[in-house]
Amino acid sequence: MVRKILVFISLASSLGAQVKLTQGTDRIAVEIDGKPFTDLFIGSADAKPFLHPLRAASGTVVTRRFPMELVEGEARDHPHHRGLWFTHGDVNGIDFWVNEPGDTRANVGRVVIRRVLDLKDGKKTGSLTASFDWQDPKGRSLLNELRTIVFYSHPRLRMMDFDILLTAIEQVKFGDTKEGTFALRLAPGLEEPRKDAPAVPPRTGKMVSADGKEGEQKVWGTRSPWVDYFGEIDGEKLGVAILDHPTNPRYPTYWHSRSYGLFAANPFGLHDFLRDKSQDGSLTLEPRQSIRFRYRVVIHPGDSASGAVAEMFKTYAAMKIPAPKK
């Protein structure tokens, strides 16, 4: 009888959770307030973990669906731009950025799941912690990644906190390249208007940095503690902001953000961003040395001002962040 009561309490607690995570064979599904939010893909068929799709609180998808799905009006360039991901284009010369399955180049790496360490449901937050290995083409591990993602329940926002700890297994050099690092690919409605874009749906997006710079020409390659990318999707005004935590290496980060919807924070690509070959943004880790990155992603209604992105950054920057789980 006691066992039945405990089972009932456990089920009731699960049903009452506002953030629910469910592990499948190749992905972890995330539901917020009873609605699907995203899936973290971790299957052996994938060359890197990625979140797809990302949805606003209204349910509107704010990331490009290609190459996982084929949707009319989406550009089908850069198939390695999968939802939201974290990799880099030069780690000891290995490319973890352009690394689609089936790529036969000799320097293509993979980020593979070791194990899911923790899944937690909750009324206000839910979280997952997983361990990954960054492997060279021969399957040798160069880095271990410990990643925790916290998902928040909110009536108007969709918010995620990323805590990423990279530990070198051997000496590892992150090369100076614009091809990285913490990135997502936006839905076509949020792309900036440009001549070569498909006519439908209309491209209405604008990227804005913390100091008020607007558009790719002024934002790309500059440093900022946050960038917001907003526009309209089917008449709904939405924005996606990436916030760079002040404790991150080389804060404030440089931005590899493009008018066609690539949206990436990259602290390594100095010679590209500064257009100066004498600059060197590379970074080397010795064996067992670690580097930690923290980011917040906020999907909000409206533009940067009405979405209060600057205020949200102040809150995030002031957070006391615990040491990473081991």
Residues in Cβ contact with 5 at an 8 Å cutoff, skipping those fewer than 6 apart:
none
CA distance 117 to 130: 5
Comparing 57-61, 120-124, 322-326, the range with the smallest average pLDDT is 322-326
> Is residue 322 in some structural domain?
no
> Is residue 186 in some structural domain?
yes
> Is residue 325 in some structural domain?
no
> Is residue 324 in some structural domain?
no
The whole domain housing 76 covers: 2-317
> Is residue 68 in some structural domain?
yes
CA distance 180 to 253: 12
Residue 254 burial (C-beta neighbours within 10 Å; 0-12, 13-18, 19+): buried
Instruction: State residue 320's pLDDT score.
Output: 81
Report the sign of the C-alpha dihedral through residues 235, 301, 180, 38, in that order. Answer: negative
Q: Is 283 helix (H, G, I), strand (E, B) or coil?
A: strand
Six-digit token string for 35: 């609605």
Q: How confident is the model at residue 326 (pLDDT cuts 50, 70, 90)?
A: low
* CATH code of the domain in which 306 resides: 2.70.98
Instruction: State residue 32's pLDDT score.
Output: 98
Q: How confident is the model at residue 15 (pLDDT cuts 50, 70, 90)?
A: low
Its pTM surpasses 0.95: no
> Is residue 323 in some structural domain?
no
CA distance 260 to 246: 28
* Cis peptide leading into residue 101 (ω within 30°): no
> Is residue 212 in some structural domain?
yes
Q: Is 7 helix (H, G, I), strand (E, B) or coil?
A: helix
Six-digit token string for 200: 């439908």
CA distance 211 to 312: 15
Domain count, the chain: 1
Rg (CA), the chain: 20
pLDDT at 16 over 80: no
Instruction: State residue 180's pLDDT score.
Output: 98
- HEC per residue, 22-60: EECCCEEEEEECCEEEEEEECCCCCCCCEEECCECCCCC
Of 309, 298, 181, 185, the residue nearest 248 (C-alpha): 181
How confident is the model over 130-159, as a mean pLDDT?
A: 98
> Is residue 58 in some structural domain?
yes
